[in-house]
Amino acid sequence: MRISELYNKNRKTLAFEIFPPKPDIPMDSLFSSIEGFKKLSPDYISVTYGAGGSQRGRTVEIASKLKNHYGIESMCHLTCVGHSVQEIDDLLAEIKKENIDNILALRGDPPIDQPDFKFDNGAFKYANELIEHIKKTGDFCIAAAAYLEGHSDSKRLSDDRRYLKQKVDAGVDLLITQLFFDIRLYFDFLDRCEQLNIKCPVIPGIMPIFSARIKTMTARSGCSIPARLVLMIDKYQDSPEDLKKAGEEYAAYMIRELLDGGAPGIHLYTMNKLESTVNILKLAGLR
């Protein structure tokens, strides 16, 4: 099923994001958690794609298992970093063969071990080029990333908005935001989308704070942390369990406020943590 159909029905959706285990870790370590995620009745689950395509085989395998074994609608992440047109086409054919209808199309991050990586090395340099190609290749529902505070590579916010419009015009059915922690940013972003005549659903992506490492993650992504959260992290940085609990409570607070404010759904970055996902949804009153 095309995920865009869910939003056409004007219902609040719940989606999870999971990531493939490292190559030296058996897949059973993840599949044992999927039964638990399924009990939470997500509308769909997206599966990430490692930096430089490092996990691409496992991404399709997991998305296929979700859809064809567990009966959960799935979304494959697909990046264009370093890939040839033929490699992209082979992946699209594999995704279609596995009965997967939904793709999150991304430029992607360079391989971790290649600090001087050149994005020109692949067939597609930007996400909008990948989206245009997918649109020509098959009848997929295409999602794209939205950066509420601008992509870290964009020199101006106005440039970032222009690139976003290019992606949407290339054939995007819905947008999923990268992590953010200030709810006002989301609703301000919706206003800007309206000014740009972007009409597709914008789904807020919620990243729970599980440890003080979130500071490093936000530094890389260009995402800001509100002062109240900085104080919270500093307060509990020597008590990991208390910090995780406070992070779950804040994620639940964001979910409630966003849905009450009119967000069409929630995309929860679970970090493969089933117990915390259960706690967050209970605190938010969703499950």
Look up 17 and say whether it is catalytic: yes
Looking at this protein, which amino acid is placed at residue 97?
A: K
Coil/strand/helix, residue 75: strand
Helix, strand, coil % over all residues of the chain, rounded to 5: 50, 15, 40
User: 121, 21, 102: which is closest to 64 by C-alpha?
Assistant: 102
Phi, psi of 204 (to 5 degrees): -70, 130
CA distances from 235 to 182, 242, 257 (A): 19, 9, 24
Cα–Cα distance for residue pair 229/254, rounded to 1 Å: 12
- Name the catalytic one among 5, 17, 87, 98: 17
Q: Extract the tokens encoding 175.
A: 């947008």
What residues are labeled active site?
A: 17
